[in-house]
Amino acid sequence: MKEIKLSTSFTVFDDLNELSKNDKALFLEAQTARDNAYAPYSNFQVGAALLLDNNKIILGNNQENAAYPSGMCAERVAIWNASSQYPKSKILKIFITAKSNLKKVTEPVSPCGSCRQTIAEYELNQDTNIEIFFMGEIGKIIKSNSLKDLLPLVFDKKFLK
Ligand code: THU
């Protein structure tokens, strides 16, 4: 028996002004998507903006449903939107932002487990890292250099064949 230790590191930015001009602009796109979210049940709006290697920006936001499990997260709406329009393009970066009607979201909101698994599918297929930036409504931004840092010991297709 032995113990293995996994280590990872993330970059933390104090606010949007610490980002490059292009990355900040992509966060503004994610904010626009967030503000168009359909989230009447949770009152928690999430927006995602993807930058593809063909320079296209693809947006998504959470879409809720009266039958709660029929709703979908912003990240997966954006990723499937990208894959359905540009199946051959790589995803370079994902920007995520969230706000709530109930309280000010001041901490970075990281993608949920199912969204991490979905991002993993595309990162592993394209064989290049996806940078993931996430924040609340205001405040700090966390940047992960790869999905693998958010989902160690990932389940992927190599187990299936
Ligand atoms: N949500 C997202 O859009 N992305 C996440 O990564 C976490 C949660 C949405 C789903 C639901 O509409 C609301 O936030 C509350 O969970």
Looking at residue 145, its pLDDT comes to 98
Dist. CA 129–CA 21, nearest whole Å:
21
Domain around 136: 10-151
19 alpha carbon to ligand 1 midpoint, in Å?
Answer: 24
Q: Which among 121, 133, 148, 154 has a CA at the least distance from the CA of 24?
A: 133
Q: Please identify, by atom number, the ligand 1 atom nearest to the C-alpha of residue 39.
A: 12
160 in any annotated domain: no
pLDDT tens for each residue of 139-153: 999 999 999 999 999
11 alpha carbon to ligand 1 midpoint, in Å?
Answer: 23
Q: Active-site positions?
A: 75
157 in any annotated domain: no
Dist. CA 9–CA 144, nearest whole Å:
8
Looking at residue 32, its pLDDT comes to 98
The domain that holds 78 is classified in CATH as: 3.40.140.10
53 alpha carbon to ligand 1 midpoint, in Å?
Answer: 26
159 in any annotated domain: no
Q: How does residue 102 score in pLDDT terms, banded at 50, 70 and 90?
A: very high
Q: Please identify, by atom number, the ligand 1 atom nearest to the C-alpha of residue 62.
A: 3
117 in any annotated domain: yes
Q: Which element (helix H / strand E) includes 143? A: strand 141-144
Dist. CA 125–CA 103, nearest whole Å:
38
pLDDT tens for each residue of 53-78: 999 999 999 999 999 999 999 999 99
Total domains in the fold of the chain: 1
